[in-house]
Amino acid sequence: MECFRAFSSELLKMRRSWAFTLSIAAPLGVTLLIFLLAALDVPNKEWNDVWIFYLRGIVWSWVLMMLPFYVALLLALIASIDHNAAAWKLLLAQPVSRPPLYVAKLAVACLLVAWSNVVLATASLALGFLLRRLRPDMGNFGPGVDLGHFLAMLALAYVAGLLMIAIHAWLSMRSSSFVLSLAVVIFAVIPNFLGFQQEQLQKHWPWLFPFDAVRLYGLQPRDTILHFWSIQHLSIVSVLGAALVTSMAIWDFSRREAA
């Protein structure tokens, strides 16, 4: 019951917050960017299936470029609501156990990331139909959108990203510094862009789990048992990892002294 009360309280704090604004602006930004690139593109050839080209571009941009930075910034913004209001001394002096306070904040973060996926999906489809109307010359828009495939990719990326969310939740609750959160994600992601990391390491790198999940699901034949198992494996590691990190974070939070 305390968890629900704390969750309701945390939800109220999201009103007019930068975190909520970001949860809409980030997916909209990615969608608009890909839409504009597609709409302004002068292709050398006609695409066989423009929907696949367009939606894959959005999902890949989202999970590889945006999601790690978005999660880091979102969690820092959520925690900053209490850091900046010097609210810990008020919240921790309430007749409420400490674990629900932490879990509620994490739950709101997970909810906002899920909400961002909804915004991304809705905006992608809306702008996709607009693209078909504006640029029928781009190629074959095919029989229609493979909505199930698209949503499955987003859902898998979300589950695979839970460990990353848990890590940044702990980090941002511990420190009010945005710089620290962003430094961690830059350190974690940039080397992969530059191809500095070994493939073996990449497979165990939480910040790349969403990308791996999409890569495994989106690039390979969908009915391949081997790859389907890999996605399950990735999801289980992410969920169990998130549970472990959150347990340690709650232990840490419960011992925290409000300065």
Partner 1 sequence: MHAVTGLNLSVRSGSVYGFLGPNGAGKTTTIRMLLGLIRPDHGSVTIFGLALSDHRKGILGRIGSLVEAPSIYPRLTGRENLQVLTRLAAIRTRRVDHVLRQVGLLDAAHRLAGQYSQGMKQRLGLATALLNEPQILILDEPTNGLDPAGIREVRELLKRLAAESGVTVFLSSHLLSEVEQVATHLGIIHRGRLLFEGTLQELQQTRSGHTVIRTNDPHKALELLQGQGARCCLVEGGALHLKTSEPELAATANHALVQAGLRVYSIESRSQGLEELFMQLTVNESD
* Minimum distance from residue 7 beta carbon to partner 1 (Å): 9
6 is a site residue for partner 1 (CB under 8 A): yes
96 is a site residue for partner 1 (CB under 8 A): yes
Residues 6+ apart with CB under 8 A from 211: 60, 63, 64, 157
Count helices and strands in the chain by DSSP H and E runs: 12, 0
- C-beta of 19 vs 231, nearer to partner 1: 19
- C-beta of 107 vs 234, nearer to partner 1: 107
* Minimum distance from residue 2 beta carbon to partner 1 (Å): 9
- C-beta of 174 vs 203, nearer to partner 1: 174
The DSSP-derived string for 68-107 is HHHHHHHHHHHHHHHHHTT-HHHHTTSSS-HHHHHHHHHH
**If DSSP codes are grouped into helix, strand and coil, which group holds residue 235?**
helix
* Minimum distance from residue 6 beta carbon to partner 1 (Å): 6
The residue from 32, 36, 37, 90 that contacts partner 1 (CB under 8 A) is: 90
81 is a site residue for partner 1 (CB under 8 A): yes
Compute the C-alpha angle 193/198/203, nearest 5°.
85
* Under 8 Å between Cβ of 83 and 178: no
Closest C-alpha to 111, from 244, 32, 11: 11
* Minimum distance from residue 169 beta carbon to partner 1 (Å): 19
Rounded CA-CA distance 138/49 in Å is 9
251 is a site residue for partner 1 (CB under 8 A): no
133 is a site residue for partner 1 (CB under 8 A): no
192 is a site residue for partner 1 (CB under 8 A): no
17 is a site residue for partner 1 (CB under 8 A): yes
Chain contacts with partner 1 (rule: CB under 8 A): 5-6, 8-9, 12-13, 15-17, 81, 84-87, 89-97, 257-259
